[in-house]
Amino acid sequence: MSVLNIIALIFFVLSIIVYIYIIEFSPYRKKTLVYKLFRSRIVFVKKLQQFEEIPTSFSTYTKATYGGVFTLTSVTTGLMATLVFFIFNSQKAANAINGLDLFYPVREEELVMRSSILILLAVYVFFNLISTNRMWAIMTIAMGSLRNKSTLSKRLRMHEGKKVLRIYVSAVNLYSRAWGAMFFLFAGIGWLFSPVLLIILTLVVLKVNIRRNYYSSIYKFVDGHKNATKVSTGVYKW
């Protein structure tokens, strides 16, 4: 592996470590958008336990979550299939990439190595999404047991409610990690073409994630900032 590839790979791995530290271990992690959304979802689930019947809003929220997980799972599966194709047809893939006349030529053995490393990241995303789907299904079933207050004692209801919250926390953590890894997976696709492109896309991903977690309009909206702009389309303002 060339020196430039080694530098690009080290930079890519260090960027992932920095992102994980910011989101999960930094002293400022409680100020991130990921954490604030996590807390708002916890409040939402706690309020659901007070209803006799599960409201329509929860059903809508569940459908939206299932849809998001399904979409990301489909995209990840497609990326894994593409990477496997590159491994078993490395010569054709390398020739096709080199036909684009990029600044950095791609060798066949390098393409196999890059694809193999990216498949590991794609598998991590895939299994996190599958686990999210499983945990969400379990939580939905558990929520059904809390529908009728008259069939459960207050103590048992509180115990079941805590179980629902634990399941929900696990599901949200898995989904957040899969979403974060997906960002870097898309940056890693640039490595198939050039190590320089990997470095550039990794920098873009870091900037987008840091801005999304601290300075985006949706962050200000969730945080209750007085200058927050309305987010009607669901699109981040970078």
Give the helix, strand, coil percentages of the chain, each rounded to 5.
Answer: 80, 0, 20
Burial of 231 (0-12, 13-18, 19+ CB in 10 A): middle
pLDDT digits (tens, 9 = 90+) for 24-59: 787 777 777 777 777 776 776 666 666 555 556 666
In Å, what is the CA distance from 59 to each residue of 11, 45, 55, 144, 146?
42, 12, 7, 12, 15
Q: Which residue has the tokens 């992690």?
A: 29
Phi, psi torsion values for 147, nearest 5 degrees = -60, -50
Is residue 144 within 8 A of residue 53, CB to CB? The reply is no
Q: Rounded mean pLDDT of the chain?
A: 76
pLDDT tens digits for 137-195? Answer: 777 777 666 555 555 555 655 666 677 777 777 887 888 888 888 999 999 998 888 88
- 92-139 per-position pLDDT tens digit: 888 887 777 666 778 888 888 889 999 999 999 999 999 888 887 777
The residues, any chain, with a CB within 8 Å of residue 161's CB and separated by 6 or more, are 46, 49, 146
Residue 182 and residue 42: Cα distance in Å, rounded?
Answer: 24
Residue type (1 letter), 110:
E
Sign of CA dihedral 67, 134, 57, 32: negative
Stated pTM of the model: 0.76
